[in-house]
Structure 1
Amino acid sequence: MAGSTYGQIAALQPTVPDNVPEYPLSLYRSATKEAQNLYNGRLYYIYDSREDEHQFFIDRKYEKGAVFYDGQRYDSIPMLYDIVKDELVIKHINGFEPIILQTPKVGFFIIYDHNYLNLKSGKDINPEMPTGYYDLIYNGKTKTLARRIKQRQEKINEKKVIALFPQKNFYYVYANGKYNGVHTRKSITRLFPGQKAELRKALREQNIKFRKDRERAIVTMVARYDELTKQ
């Protein structure tokens, strides 16, 4: 499994750029004209569009990003990532209808400088981990993934139904031949007992409180482990 996991990530994962390239509209249309299969997906309905909270990653506005789709990379594509349905949505070339990309054809996509990989349960990741999009939050020797989940909920306020979209993040660190779910500082140091003191020191040096900034803390500890064990 280890070889499959590393192979998939190595093949699909480019270096995440500081900024997604912005191409002139003429070049964008020229490129997309030659790849109309990008726009052959199902129409997407943006639900609960008037609520304060939303179902998307970071923002409900389109963000230009990159997507590796059906064996080809496309840049400067306006997109949304619906976390509730785990679907990647792009803006149609005509500027109106949102389109859902066919998930099996998506290798990876980059949005807001986050690189999401489409990983298959039992092949790229552990059998108990669901197939879907995972955010590659650290791409060193010790790969680290985030699985972001939103569930639509409702509450009644003055006889009005209000939709809520609370988000949960689940983190996985690759160690000992598999991905390990981590949630606490102890769960990480348990993976790397020989570097326990140094990993804690890394958090103190950057004044990171694990519970307040969990994702940054996990990446900091894993990166320090790689630094300590590099050959």
Structure 2
Amino acid sequence: MKSFHSKSLLLFFCSLFFLTKTFSQSTAEDSIAYASAIKNAKAIYHKALYPEEGLYTGPEYYGYPFRFQEGQPYYYKDQMDTGWIQYEGVLYENIGMRYDLIRDQLIVTQPKNNARICLINDRASRFHLFNTTFIYLKTDTAKAGISSGIYALLYEHNDNMLVKRNRKTITEELSLAEGILRFINDNNSFAIKKGNKYYPVSGKKDVLNVYADKKKQLQQYIRRNKLDFKHDKDNAFTKAVSWYDSL
């Protein structure tokens, strides 16, 4: 196996060396061809290693041994989605994934046997599923104001960023007729990154405090556009942050 991987790596780097030599004298109009050639070289590399063992080395995921009365534990819906993931610096595409928000586990499906594998969160710098990009933030909680972990990336431009911590919890009720009933509740939180610092925000007041230098203008924008920080937080926070960033 190691010999096979070594040969594949050698093939990949030789291809890159050849491409670099070929396009070293290229002009600007060759940039598209160069990018395409690099993409093809990477595709050959991934195909040679398929299924890539570097991604499928975690423990197996077994799900839940009980049913839920309401809700489901995964991001967006209880089914696998095909997306991409940047894992230990390597980009993997067309990967079957789901994200368990109760256990905070990213799960991939091994294509050989359909086994579900738990990835190590801090090795997944970015991944994309159900039309949402997630990032792993490693922070000093005392200084940053938020804990390390996986966050949905709602907005990013220069030093301004809006992230959402998607989590779910289980509550239990005892029924004489049915035994233990389990319900799933959303437990989400938001944070704005301004400069080098993260600010936890839960409503309009927090946003205005973060952007105190433009507080009056932002209040007018929020009122004019009827942003609802109670029932439509994703949209309200995103529009407020992007508006401030546009100034």
TM-score, scaled to structure 1: 0.78
For residues 1-231 of structure 1, the aligned pairs below 5 Å read: 30=47, 33=50, 35-48=52-65, 50-51=67-68, 52-122=70-140, 126-141=143-158, 142-157=160-175, 158-175=177-194, 177-228=196-247
The 8 Å contact of residues 174 and 180 in structure 1, kept in 2 or not, is answered as yes
Tell me the matched-pair count: 202
Q: Distance in 1 between matches of 2:193 and 2:147?
A: 16
Q: Give a deviation string over 1:109-162, Cα, whole Å, max 9, x none.
A: 111121111111229x94542221011111123111111221122123433322
CA shift, 1:95, in A, is: 4.8
Secondary structure of residue in 1 paired with 2:221: helix
Shift of 1:194: 3.2
Taking a change above 3 Å as real, the CA distance of residues 200 and 165 of structure 1, as seen in their structure-2 partners, is: same
How big is the shift at 1:198? 2.6
Q: Could you give the per-residue CA deviations for residues 158-217 of structure 1, whole angstroms, max 9, x where no partner exists?
A: 333222221111111112631011112111111222322332333344333221111211
CA distance in 1, matches of 2:96, 2:168: 22
Larger relative contact order (Cα-Cα within 8 Å, sequence gap ≥ 6): 1
Q: Determine if contact 1:68/1:74 at 8 Å carries over to the other structure.
A: yes
- RMSD of the alignment, in Å? 2.6
Take 1:57 and 1:100, find their aligned partners in 2: how far apart are those partners?
15
Quote how far apart the aligned CAs of 1:54 are.
1.5
Give the match for residue 24 of structure 1: none
Deviations 1:47-93 (A, max 9, x none): 15643422111111001111111211111111110111111001111
What amino acid is aligned across from residue 78 of structure 1 in structure 2? G
**Kindly tell me: are residues 38 and 154 of structure 1, through their superposed partners in 2, closer, same or farther at Cα, counting changes over 3 Å?**
same
Tell me the secondary structure at the aligned position of residue 65 of structure 1. Answer: strand
More helix by share: 2
1:130–1:81 Cα change, 3 Å = same
2:105 and 2:121 in contact (8 A); partners too: yes
Q: In the aligned structure 1, how far is the partner of 2:161 from the partner of 2:81?
A: 26
Provide the secondary structure at the position in 1 that maps to 2:122: helix
Structure 2 alignment gaps of length 5 or more: 1-43
Question: Structure 1, unaligned stretches of length 5 or more?
Answer: 1-26
The change in CA–CA distance for 1:66 and 1:122 in structure 2 (over 3 A counts) is same
Among the aligned pairs, what percent are the same residue? 22
Equivalent residue letter for 1:143: M
Q: Distance in 1 between matches of 2:232 and 2:161?
A: 19
Opposite residue 169 of structure 1, the aligned amino acid is N
Q: Cα distance 1:127–1:205, how it changes in 2: closer, same or farther (>3 A)?
A: closer
Task: Look up the SS of the partner of 1:30 in the other structure.
Answer: helix
Deviates more, 1:150-159 or 1:38-47: 150-159
The alpha-carbon distance between structure 1 residues 201 and 95, as it changes in their structure 2 partners (threshold 3 A), is farther
